[in-house]
């Protein structure tokens, strides 16, 4: 019997990986499951993107290894995208690193900057990968609270009172998942000042800025941000391309070169047609986002009705691809989610998987048709 590596001792299988097995088994047994659990866009990518992908398949060299830093055209498309949508100027040769989705970037950044025993500030609630990767590299997760009273934003004054001498990275994620908080310019400016004062690398994970949000923002716009901040971004949600595995990391040349040392030893470039397709997506105009958001808004209206029928109270002013709602008093998120799954065959995500501050919440995904959300409402009302 070969024992697993010690680094896996604290790491569990990703919640959705195991829970979706249960959900699939129920579906295979004939249960009509309505999936409001996971944020995997069900809508198609822009048609132009599919054409660009297909055309690129027959390009000379399309099937060879590609540059480690992505093609020059894809990096230029990313630079144009950051300029057009966030008013952030990036040097496509030095300040942009294409990634296979932002999730892989979380691992690469952690491997590139963290030593065993270093501390990492992680939001509670937050995307579970920040914690598991921190454990994988032998660093220590130090959770900071996000809560409704603080508008789901970090209390940097409180944090500054703590011993931060071992903290090397702080993960932030605005627009926030799972809470739907938007973040704002002054938060980003305060974060940059905090990073400088405590010599911490801040990484903003920014995959949701175009979903139900009229005012997309990048932390890189804050003055002096590039020196101390990295930003992850992704085409998964913005362009319905989650299965393509394509995203990007932006920041200073020095920090990106550090990440590149890890990445060049992990993969050998991304398939050329994916990069060509992604570049064409990034060059679409804002009409693409408006058309998607009309659909998401209709769905959100229905999910809010569903939440009401379940006596759940959604947070106000949320943006992004989910609805984060408080469950009725006296119930646990795990029990409530299992009850919805077993009794009504409706799958939702329990807030505790994002951390202890999510224990009284559930997360509804907007990646389901209006018709299915309507059917879910009918099941409850019945
Ligand atoms: C906060 C957050 N970061 C990163 C990701 C991963 O995105 P990608 O598909 O770009 O790897 C997700 C996906 O659900 C997410 O919610």
Report yes or no on whether pTM surpasses 0.85. Answer: yes
**Cβ atoms of 145 and 155 closer than 8 Å:** yes
For a pLDDT cut of 90, what percent of the chain falls above it?
95
| pLDDT at residue 18 is higher than 90 | no
Q: Give the model's confidence band at 14: pLDDT under 50 very low, under 70 low, under 90 confident, else very high.
A: confident
The pLDDT value recorded for residue 9 is 85
Long-range CB contacts (within 8 A, 24+) of 146-151: 146/176, 146/179, 146/181, 146/357, 147/357, 148/315, 151/181
Q: Give the mean pLDDT of 220-249.
A: 98
Instruction: Give the tens place of pLDDT for each residue, 242-268.
Output: 999 999 999 999 999 999 999 999 999
**Fold classification of 6-44+287-381 (topology level):** 3.90.1150
Locus of tokens 């998964």: 236
Which residues touch 275 (CB under 8 Å, ≥6 apart)?
A: 56, 66, 70, 71, 73, 74, 98, 246
Q: 146 C-alpha vs ligand 1 centroid, how far in Å?
A: 19
Question: What SS3 state is found at 243?
Answer: helix
Instruction: Give the tens place of pLDDT for each residue, 285-339.
Output: 989 999 999 999 999 999 999 999 999 999 999 999 999 999 999 999 999 999 9
The pLDDT value recorded for residue 176 is 98
Ligand 1 pocket residue status of 236, Cβ below 6 Å: yes
For a pLDDT cut of 70, what percent of the chain falls above it?
100
Continuous H helices in 100-147: 101-113, 129-136
| pLDDT at residue 185 is higher than 90 | yes
Q: Give the model's confidence band at 363: pLDDT under 50 very low, under 70 low, under 90 confident, else very high.
A: very high
Ligand 1 pocket residue status of 103, Cβ below 6 Å: yes
Query: Looking at ligand 1, which atom is closest to the CA of residue 104?
Result: 11
Ligand 1 pocket residue status of 233, Cβ below 6 Å: no
- Domain range list for the chain: 6-44+287-381, 61-282
Q: Give the model's confidence band at 10: pLDDT under 50 very low, under 70 low, under 90 confident, else very high.
A: confident
**Is pLDDT larger for residue 207 or for residue 382?**
207
**Cβ atoms of 173 and 123 closer than 8 Å:** yes
Q: Best mutation site among 45, 103, 245 for ligand 1, i.e. most ligand atoms within 8 A of its Cβ? A: 103
146 vs 154: CA distance, rounded Å: 6
The pLDDT value recorded for residue 275 is 98
Q: Give the model's confidence band at 142: pLDDT under 50 very low, under 70 low, under 90 confident, else very high.
A: very high
The pLDDT value recorded for residue 242 is 98
Q: 357 C-alpha vs ligand 1 centroid, how far in Å?
A: 20
Q: Give the mean pLDDT of 167-191.
A: 97
Q: 351 C-alpha vs ligand 1 centroid, how far in Å?
A: 16
Q: What angle do CA 355, 357, 360 make, to 5 degrees?
A: 105
**Fold classification of 61-282 (topology level):** 3.40.640
**Is pLDDT larger for residue 11 or for residue 52?**
52
Q: Give the model's confidence band at 15: pLDDT under 50 very low, under 70 low, under 90 confident, else very high.
A: confident
Task: Determine which residue's CA is closest to atom 2 belonging to ligand 1.
Answer: 127
Continuous H helices in 199-252: 225-228
Length of the chain: 382
Q: Give the model's confidence band at 16: pLDDT under 50 very low, under 70 low, under 90 confident, else very high.
A: confident
Instruction: Give the tens place of pLDDT for each residue, 108-128.
Output: 999 999 999 999 999 999 999
Task: Determine which residue's CA is closest to atom 15 belonging to ligand 1.
Answer: 127
Task: Determine which residue's CA is closest to atom 14 belonging to ligand 1.
Answer: 39
Ligand 1 pocket residue status of 320, Cβ below 6 Å: no
The token duo for 324 is 């984060």
């Amino acid at each position: 019997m070969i024992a697993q590596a010690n680094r896996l001792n604290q790491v569990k299988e990703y919640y959705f990986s195991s829970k979706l097995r249960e959900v699939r088994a129920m579906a295979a047994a004939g249960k009509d499951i309505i999936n409001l659990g996971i944020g995997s866009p069900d809508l198609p990518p822009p048609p132009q993107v599919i054409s660009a992908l297909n055309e690129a398949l027959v390009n000379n060299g399309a099937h060879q290894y590609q540059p480690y830093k992505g093609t020059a055209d894809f990096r230029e498309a990313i630079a144009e995208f950051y300029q057009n949508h966030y008013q952030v100027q990036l040097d496509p040769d030095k300040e942009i690193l294409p990634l296979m989705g932002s999730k892989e970037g979380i691992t690469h950044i952690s491997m590139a900057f963290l030593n065993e025993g270093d501390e990492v500030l992680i939001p509670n609630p937050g995307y579970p990968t920040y914690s598991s990767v921190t454990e994988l590299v032998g660093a220590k997760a130090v959770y900071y609270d996000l809560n409704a009273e603080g508008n789901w934003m970090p209390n940097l004054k409180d944090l500054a009172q703590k011993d931060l001498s071992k903290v090397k990275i702080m993960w932030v994620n605005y627009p926030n998942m799972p809470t739907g908080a938007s973040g704002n310019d002054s938060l980003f400016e305060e974060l940059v000042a905090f990073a400088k004062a405590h010599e911490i690398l801040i990484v903003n994970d920014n995959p949701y800025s175009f979903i139900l949000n009229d005012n997309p923002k990048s932390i890189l716009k804050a003055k002096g941000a590039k020196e101390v901040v990295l930003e992850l971004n992704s085409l998964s949600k913005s362009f319905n391309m989650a299965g393509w595995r394509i995203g990007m990391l932006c920041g200073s040349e020095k920090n990106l070169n550090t990440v590149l040392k890890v990445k060049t030893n992990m993969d050998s470039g991304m398939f050329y047609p994916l990069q060509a397709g992604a570049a064409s997506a990034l060059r679409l105009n804002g009409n693409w986002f408006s058309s998607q958001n009309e659909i998401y808004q209709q769905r959100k209206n229905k999910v809010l009705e569903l939440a009401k029928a379940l006596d759940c109270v959604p947070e106000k002013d949320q943006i992004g691809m989910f609805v984060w709602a408080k469950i009725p008093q006296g119930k646990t998120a795990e029990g409530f989610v299992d009850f919805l799954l077993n009794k009504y065959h409706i799958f939702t995500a329990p807030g505790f998987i994002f951390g202890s501050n999510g224990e009284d919440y559930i997360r509804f995904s907007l990646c389901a048709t209006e018709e299915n959300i309507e059917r879910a409402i009918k099941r409850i009302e019945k």
